[in-house]
Structures are given as C-alpha cells and as structure tokens.
Amino acid sequence: MTSALRFLGSASAFWFVLPCLLVLAFTSVYPVGFGLAVSFTNWNWGNQFELVGWANYANLLADAEFWSVIKNTVVFAAWATAIETALGFYLAVQVDKLAIRTDLIRAVIMLPLMVSGIVVALMSKVMFDPFLGIINHLIGAFGLGPSAFYGAADTAMASIVAVDVWWQTAFVFIIMLAGLRSLPAEPVEAARVEGASEFTIFWSIKLPMLRSLLITVIIIRAIDTLKVFDIVFGTTGGGPALATEVVQTFVYRTAYSYQQIGKAMATMILFSILILVISLTLQALQRRGERDA
C-alpha cells in the first residue's frame, strides 16, 4: 500500500483516482488476464478445463475460416472508413461554405448517429428487402437492379458497408466541420487577396492544418469499424455462407453456440493485437506528419 501511495504521488490524489482504478481493474484487467489464460485451455464453460498450450493459436492460424473472417473484417473496415472519411469531410467543406445558419442542417445530418446499430440493421432489412423493399423500387426507376442485397454473396458486404456509411458518416462530418471552423482566418484571407483559387486555398492552407485531426478521425473510425458487430449480427448474421462473417460475430458464435471458449479467446487476443498494430501504425503516420510540419 505504501509503495502504491508513493507511486501515485500523494495520499489525496490516490483517493481521487482509486475508484476509477478499481472499476477499470475489474472491468478490463481481470477479463483480459483471465481471457488470456483461457486462450491456452480447451474450456467449454463447464468441466472441461485443460491446458492445451499454443494449440488454439496454432489451429486458428492454420484455419482457412479464420483468415477469411479476418479478411472480411479488414475489407469492411477499409471500405467503410475510406468512404465515411471522404464523404464526411467533403460534406463538412460544403456546409462550411453555406451562408446560412447551419444548426438545423447539422442536427438532421447527425440524426443517424443517435440510432443504435441493431435498429439501423433492422431498418436496412426492411429497405433492402429484395422483393418489397423501397431501395430496389427506387433504383429500378433508374433502370438498375433488382439486387438481392443481403441475400447474395457478391452484394452482401457492399450492402453492409453502405449501411455503416449511412450510420457513421456524420461523425466525420461533425468533427471536420468543427475543425474547419476553428481554423485561423488570416492565412486564408491573405491567400484570397493574393488571388489564390478556392481549391488552392483548401489544398495548401486548410488541409495541412487539418491533417492531424483528419488522421485522428481515421484512427477512431478504423478502430470502430474493425470492431463491427451490431449491423452484421442484425442483418446477415455473417452469411450468406461466410461472405460477411466478421471477427466479433465469429467469436460470438464460437463462444456461445459452439462453447469453444479457448478458441474464442485466442481469436480475441490475436484480433486485439491486430487492432493495436493498425492504430499504432496510423498514429506513427500522424507523428511523422507533425514533425515534418
């Protein structure tokens, strides 16, 4: 206890932080520690609890299903993050040009963010219905479709990406709009007096100043989309076949339908390492940019 006190600086600060440390220890350190231990066993929620060494990890890495699940997750995250970032940022630039009050516009555009993932999923099931859904009806007016959407392997993933784009683009929009509005006015005004085009002003003045914020937004969206669960669980459940199975739906099935807890936790550990590597890489990119600037 004394060493803990010294570690935290002063007795008073220790009491201020203690509840937080206790709750975080209970909700994160314990499960990660216990989960790591379980990943080296063949536990089935019941009496079967034997050490199997690295077997769960070795089996996963040799399993084609595991790799296709990882591939689906990364493909989903890459497309969703790229489209949401591009669309949200572009929208922020456009809204920033408007000469009217934009509070109401912003409120309407961020409406999808307030909707839970499972409701988004069910809403999309009604709209994407191959026979009676409004979307096939609307694209039919342009001579497109009809599409099976969730029902076919080659359109299911694109449909889920589209749903996530509807759901989360506003997140990028709100933050980039706040970023655009917080930029200092002088450099932009000066460039305008010099006769620089709007495109040049955006590309060589605003964008460099927003680079760090943009990468932060990309990191947040990348982590969030890699962890996708609700909208896959609520729509395809991973199908057809394995076309849209992502890591978290795969783990849910492994743990709760097949009772293979060791395998499920080994998957989670490997996946957590992947998330860490991806976010650290993006963060290194951000730091390098700040150093260069």
- Restricted to residues 128-187, the positions that interact with other proteins (CB under 8 A) are 129, 131-134, 137, 166, 170-171, 174-175, 178-179
Give the residue among 55, 49, 63, 85 at the shortest CA–CA distance from 222: 85
Stretch that binds other proteins, among 64-72, 75-83, 273-281, 285-293 (CB under 8 A): 273-281
Q: Report d(CA 37, CA 145) in Å as an integer.
A: 50
Q: Report d(CA 67, CA 63) in Å as an integer.
A: 7
Kindly provide the b/e burial profile for residues 91-117, where b requires at least 16 CB atoms within 10 angstroms of the residue's own CB: bbbebbeeeeeeeeebeebeebeeeeb
Asked if 111 is part of the footprint of other proteins (rule: CB under 8 A), the reply reads yes
Q: How far is the CB of 102 from other proteins (least distance, A)?
A: 8
* Per-residue DSSP letter, 47: S
Return phi, psi of residue 41, to 5°.
Answer: -125, 175
Among 233, 238, 245, 266, binds other proteins (CB under 8 A): 233
Asked if 264 is part of the footprint of other proteins (rule: CB under 8 A), the reply reads yes
Among 1, 2, 3, 12, binds other proteins (CB under 8 A): 12
Beta bridge partners of 21: none
Q: Report d(CA 151, CA 208) in Å as an integer.
A: 43
Binders of other proteins in range 17-76 (CB under 8 A): 17, 19-21, 23-24, 26-28, 30-32, 34-35, 38, 45
Q: How far is the CB of 291 from other proteins (least distance, A)?
A: 19
Q: Report d(CA 120, CA 115) in Å as an integer.
A: 7
Stretch that binds other proteins, among 1-9, 50-58, 59-67, 153-161 (CB under 8 A): 1-9
Among 60, 70, 80, 255, binds other proteins (CB under 8 A): 255
Residues in the chain, overall count: 293
Q: How far is the CB of 27 from other proteins (least distance, A)?
A: 4
State which residue, 34 or 67, has the beta carbon closest to other proteins. 34
Asked if 83 is part of the footprint of other proteins (rule: CB under 8 A), the reply reads no
Binding mask 191-230 for other proteins (x = CB under 8 A): -xx-x--x--x-----------x--xx-xx--x--xx-xx
Beta bridge partners of 51: 41
State which residue, 9 or 208, has the beta carbon closest to other proteins. 9
